[in-house]
Amino acid sequence: MIHRLDPQTRSKIAAGEVATRPASVVVELVENALDAGAGTVEIEVGGDGTDRIRVADDGHGMSESDAELAVEHHTTSKLTEADDIETVETLGFRGEALPSIAAVSRLELTTNTGGPRGTRVVVEDDETTVSPAGRAKGTTVEVTDLFADRPARKKALASPKAEFARISAVVTRYALTRPDVRFVLRHDGHETLTTPGTGRFADVMLAVYGRDAASHASTFDSVREVKAGGETATVEIDGLLCYPDVTRSRRDHVHVSVNGRALAEPRIRRAVVEGYGTLLPDGREPVGVVRVNLPPEWVDHNVHPAKDEVGFRDADAVAEAVESSVRDALSTADLRRSGELAM
Ligand code: ADP
Ligand code: MG
């Protein structure tokens, strides 16, 4: 059930600007699909993304009244009271993504909870129209004419190629973080990424980085305790690490997530690199997926409007846990193994 947040809760939320560029729109729509329990997320992008972004999922969908509320400000099904912000386990919670995107585009949402009839909601020029629509269970959000009446924002965008590269990077990060979900990304009609949704890290690695990387990698899984202010929390760290013979020159191939949220999180990325230590050739960067899970009250997802970084109760302790997990994983992995999927 979607409802409106009270003013006190709203004031605690750092919504900032949600729709700053096409990639930020894609992040919000993909996170909504994952929050809805999707098994498949299909993303279609036209041009630099301002022409068209379409995200379709097979998640739980929305009732007609929820679909109508979803595009209004401060409406969410994920948070009820201000204190819930501390323990929120969904990716969304601000109730601001859909209305913010709709404010700078034409937004069409088609959804069905699995009943005989679905709902279509169109927001265009501040007008919302609701009508019945045929659709299987799930939700499709189509955003067209993004920033059509925001010339300054449109001008600030990079080339279509560069904007699509950003979109591709965020979709790839989520695909690697969620091997259990099937992702399809299309750009101007061409499929650029498909992951199988098998739940196996090696399968997504194969889809994203190819056979060489997927066959020179090991999954790992560790549990560490971290302490802060007299309290102890259990941190679970897992993922897949490519062996040090698979490297890149750029830094953005360590894909980090914290409590399911894929984000840049430079401190965790650095901790992963430290974990490789001297195994890495000079000037080379590792390739891997590292998922960090800790009790929600130890993480603050609300510090960064674009949700790129999180606040940790003790960031150094978490970084140390990540570093030692990676170091241990690499020291036990059979680094000479090659030629087959190391799963
Ligand atoms: P938030 O995710 O912060 O709650 P949004 O504006 O992104 O805010 O979405 C508002 C509400 O619309 C969500 O709380 C959810 O109930 C519903 N919703 C949005 N996208 C989907 C989707 N793909 N599937 C099902 N429900 C959705
Ligand atoms: Mg959302």
pLDDT digits (tens, 9 = 90+) for 77-120: 887 776 677 777 788 777 889 999 999 999 999 999 999 999 99
Give the single-character DSSP code of 253.
T
User: What is the complex's ipTM, to 2 decimals?
Assistant: 0.98
Q: How far is the CA of 198 from the centre of ligand 1 (A)?
A: 25
| Ligand 1 atom nearest 61 alpha carbon | 25
Residue 230, pLDDT score: 87
Residue 90, pLDDT score: 83
pLDDT digits (tens, 9 = 90+) for 144-184: 999 998 898 899 999 999 999 999 999 999 999 999 999 99
Could you tell me if the CB of 61 is within 6 A of ligand 1? yes
Could you tell me if the CB of 123 is within 6 A of ligand 1? no
What is the C-alpha separation between 28 and 21, in angstroms, rounded?
11
What is the C-alpha separation between 14 and 307, in angstroms, rounded?
9
pLDDT digits (tens, 9 = 90+) for 44-78: 999 999 999 999 999 999 999 999 999 988 888 88
Could you tell me if the CB of 292 is within 6 A of ligand 1? no
Could you tell me if the CB of 92 is within 6 A of ligand 1? yes
| Ligand 1 atom nearest 95 alpha carbon | 8
Could you tell me if the CB of 18 is within 6 A of ligand 1? no
Residue 332, pLDDT score: 81
Kindly state the greatest CA–CA separation across the chain: 62
SS3 70: helix
pLDDT digits (tens, 9 = 90+) for 289-321: 999 999 988 888 776 666 677 888 888 999 999
Residue 333 has pLDDT above 70, yes or no: no
pLDDT digits (tens, 9 = 90+) for 114-138: 999 999 999 998 899 999 999 999 9
> Tell me, which fold does domain 210-332 have in CATH?
Ribosomal Protein S5; domain 2 (3.30.230)
Domain 3-194: CATH superfamily, name plus number? Histidine kinase-like ATPase, C-terminal domain (3.30.565.10)
Residue 124, pLDDT score: 95
Q: At what angle do helices 160-177 and 201-209 cross, to 10 degrees?
A: 160
Could you tell me if the CB of 307 is within 6 A of ligand 1? no
Could you tell me if the CB of 272 is within 6 A of ligand 1? no
Closest CA relative to residue 172, chosen from 41, 303, 47: 41
The backbone torsions φ and ψ at residue 224, rounded to the nearest 5 degrees and listed phi first, read -130, 155
Beta bridge partners of 108: 122, 142
Residue 83, pLDDT score: 64
Could you tell me if the CB of 94 is within 6 A of ligand 1? yes
Q: How far is the CA of 188 from the centre of ligand 1 (A)?
A: 26
What is the C-alpha separation between 179 and 172, in angstroms, rounded?
11
Give the single-character DSSP code of 130.
E
What is the C-alpha separation between 37 and 49, in angstroms, rounded?
25
For the chain, domain boundaries: 3-194, 210-332
Q: How far is the CA of 140 from the centre of ligand 2 (A)?
A: 14
Ligand closest to CA 5: 1
Q: How far is the CA of 224 from the centre of ligand 1 (A)?
A: 33
Helical ranges in the chain per DSSP H: 7-11, 22-35, 64-70, 97-102, 151-155, 160-177, 201-209, 211-215, 266-276, 315-332
Measuring from atom 16 of ligand 1, which residue has the nearest CA?
A: 77
| Ligand 1 atom nearest 2 alpha carbon | 16
Instruction: Write the CB contacts of 211 (distance below 8 Å, at least 6 apart in sequence).
Output: none
CB 25 within 8 A of CB 170: no
* Alpha-carbon distance values, 92 to 48, 76, 282 (Å): 25, 8, 39
* Alpha-carbon distance values, 331 to 63, 248, 257, 326 (Å): 51, 21, 23, 9
Beta bridge partners of 258: 261, 292
CB 58 within 8 A of CB 138: yes
